[in-house]
Structure 1
Amino acid sequence: MIAPALMAALVTALAAPAFADGDAANGEKAFRKCAACHTITEDGPSRVGPNLYDIVGRTTGAVDGFAFSAPMTELGEEGHVWTPEELDRFIEDPKAVVPGTKMAFAGIKKPEERADLVAYLLSVSPGAEAGAD
């Protein structure tokens, strides 16, 4: 018999999207949902939301000149960093992950679409450790 804690860990691991298996080209298409509020180019401006270029590995709430919500700023001050896993959670349900966020996006429920989007964000994050297995 499998211990409940081990079973929970296995279910979580099996359910987690494989970002390495995400398709960055599909993620670029999925980013269109984000492009109304975010840019993704190096040195691109912030819009309603911050520029997301090099987001993976960035401290939360750390875009110069952008007025983040208090909860986002507090997360960054506590040392929170955007990892692929954290981005996946946030993209799925922003308001559940960061209550009080100003982001007015309901989220993306499909795990495959989120994996593709995170793969795209990884592809435009030169500061992230690329290819680390």
Structure 2
Amino acid sequence: MIENRTATDHFTGFRNNAKMPEIPEGDYERGKKVFKQRCLQCHVVDSKATKTGPTLYGIIGRKSGSVPGFDYSTANKNKGVVWTRETLFEYLLNPKKYIPGTKMVFAGLKKADERADLIKYIEEECKKPIS
């Protein structure tokens, strides 16, 4: 069941009256496919290694621009967002709109189900120990 929540400005921490998007539960297997097709070229989720993009291992609960040793854009470092299901869901719709000035060239995922599936996959992979 998806609940309606009011949004929190993840930069200031203050609540506002905007409604958070309703996020479908997501499907691991479909998310795995989305990750392989759209993310794997630049990111990993099963190690702390970086590629063109930073590792996504442990992203839930991590502050944007904070993977040690990765050369983030100033915009990404300064955004100050803490990655949650909700912030990732919004970010993945249009990364350049969410963080103007980001180096990420990914155009985003317009379909809510694809974003939810991808988040589900990343969440589950992050629960596994790094090999």
Specify if TM > 0.5.
yes
**Alignment identity in percent?**
40
1:22 alignment partner in structure 2 = 26
1:41 corresponds, among 25, 46, 54, to 46
Match of 2:123 in 1: 122
**1:17 maps to amino acid:** I
Question: Shift of residue 46 of structure 1?
Answer: 0.7
* Partners of 2:64 and 2:100 in 1: CA distance: 14
Task: Tell me the amino acid that sits aligned with residue 37 of structure 1.
Answer: C
Q: For 1:63, give the aligned amino acid.
A: V
1:86 equivalent to 2:87? Answer yes
If each structure's strand is expressed as a fraction of its own residues, which one has the higher value?
A: 2
Deviations 1:32-80 (A, max 9, x none): 110001111123x21111010111111111111100010111123xxx2
Q: 2:74 aligns with which of 65, 70, 76?
A: 70
1:81 to partner: Cα distance: 0.7
Secondary structure of the 2:126 match is: coil
Q: What SS does the aligned partner of 1:27 have?
A: helix
Structure having the higher Rg: 1
Of Structure 1 and Structure 2, which has the larger fraction of its residues in helix? 1
2:103 maps to which residue?
102
Aligned with 2:56 (options 52, 58, 68): 52
Q: CA deviation at 1:24?
A: 1.2
Stretches of structure 2 that go unaligned for 5 or more consecutive residues are: 1-16
Cα distance in structure 1, aligned partners of 2:43 and 2:61: 18
Query: How many pairs does the alignment contain?
Result: 111
TM-score, normalised on structure 2?
0.77
Amino acid of the residue matched to residue 42 of structure 2? C
Divergent runs of 4+, >4 A: none
What is the RMSD of the two structures over their aligned residues, measured on CA atoms?
2.0
